[in-house]
Structure 1
Amino acid sequence: MRRVIVDSAIYRDGRRTAGPADLSDALAEARATGDAFLWVGLYEPTEAEFDHVSDEFALHPLAVEDALKAHQRPKLEIYDDSLLVVLKPVVYEPKSDRVSTDELMLFVGDSFVVTVRHGEGAPLAAVRRRLEAEPEVLKHGPTAVLYAVSDAVVDHYIDVAGELQIDLEELEADVFAPVGRHGANTAARIYTAKRQVLEFRRASVPLSGPMTRLAAGEVPFVHEHARPFFRDVADHLIRANEQVEGLDRLLSDVLSAHLAQMGVRQNDDVRKISAWAAMAAVPTMVAGIYGMNFEHMPELSWTWAYPAVILLMAGIEVGLYRLFKRRGWM
């Protein structure tokens, strides 16, 4: 059977300690000391697997349902015995230039934190190690975990926005490249990039509300002295949202510029085709007239009639060519 509980530990005064293997005993011990809390990390639990954890921590059924479905918007829900924070980490795949999102739920209550992770894009081992190396931060309890996880997710938003900015610059260079140097399916690439930005926005923009509430210090189970830290996370989130909004607007402008260029090139092609068709029509018309085989026609009995007609057609062709060339049609 796969291991659902990735890691669990009791932290006392900011330091990891050996605690009871049973969750109820561990939680009771943490609450008894007053300066400790229990952090349990879960990875993609099923309903049956999560039942034991939810019963031990008295998690609200609606919050449990949200954690199991794993298709939630970023949000903050407050219940009687805990609060639920839903985050959507963003993952950028350099090989495919693709953005995907995972889900991360944090249940925060009296002396406990339960993290539920869906997807591979939000490993918390690095966050846990970083916190364990900073006992002065970790001693603030579940609030410190909530802050560190939120900060890691939002900071990664900025990194992904930077990668998308590089992709956008490459698209711009392709769109405004000289004729003949454009990459294949430029319009498709632009639409794909807009889709990636939309996926990013769905993860970052709705998180503004929960971060604002946490920064305001009006959320239970969150230490009031953590307000400046959550304000810092909120500021980083604003920066990430501004970047993604700017990317979306620039992509719209790039798409408009690409479509305008396509229209201009099509008009150029139509003018060139029309010019060549006009030049082809003149000798066709003259040849058609002389090909009707009427008995009484001008110049039929002239010795130099045939060369004269050829020179006339050539002169008209040269005149049309110079006219169209001067007007930029050819």
Structure 2
Amino acid sequence: MTKPSSNRKKATSAVSNNLKATASSAEDTFDPENPATATITVTAAEVEELSETEQRDRLHLERRVERAFFEAGKALAELRDRRLYRSTHSTFEEYCKDRFGFERRHPYRLIEAAGVVDNLIKMCPNWTQNEIEDDPATVHSDQVQILPTSEGQVRPMTKLEPQEQQEVWLTAVELAGGKVPTGRIVKDVVQRIMERTQVLNTYQIGEVCQIFTKDNPELRGKGGCWAIVSAVNEFSCTITMWDGEYTVRIDHLKQLNYLESECQQMQQISDRISRLRDSGKLEAPAEAVLKCLGELKRPYLTEFEGELLSFIEQKCQVED
């Protein structure tokens, strides 16, 4: 058997000494033969209170964190409105992508969110935006209004009227127990208000309409596409597009007011595209053609478009 090293003996000895010391500090309640019965008194560390200056600094820094997206939106709006990007970029979108790495829609979301926050600030009579920026020490904890801390919390409200925005936010804060509500809570409250004020669904089966994506992630990339109404519900429609069928709220649709004959022509095009899509034989170039046809801004195909669609049908062995 290998003989234990001297270092191991020293370590064991050190542990024994520590246990003895612990027994002494535990008011002689440590039993070496039954360590599990030891009672050790632990003195709680005293928590240092913040000074009045530190409390003000903390509040000021917290407000800066909360207002980061708001300040970004305000700055982007000024950069856009004054065209301060013009010396290096031809468009605002290109500038935001190169300078900040923002995708095309993101800067506009921040600008819209800043507008909503501006409106929410008006609800609090105790202080104004300038009071917070110029002298944060004047804002007391019982005066601080609960405001959004991220763009995602504001996004569902951007299409509402100012009074509705305020109503939604106050309700969402209440549902969140007096704390900053999540974007999901805000979205649920917005949905309730929209259903309460929803106009009568006047769409008809077979009607051609145009898509507005708004806040529906399923419709991302389909803004401006046309669709055929296949079912009419109380506050929504089921529509058929070039890439499938969707059920969307009527505020995501716009009536194109086509003539009945034009609607029938578009229905025929839609049926041909649907048969191709369901064939399972489409390759990527053919899908790209169908997507282009799904973005038509007129109720007919040109001669070339008709020939191209017929060619794809022939290759996929799908009859017109």
Greater CA radius of gyration, 1 or 2? Answer: 1
Larger helix share, 1 or 2: 1
More strand by share: 1
TM-score when normalising by structure 2: 0.25
Higher RCO (CA-CA < 8 Å; seq separation 6+): 1
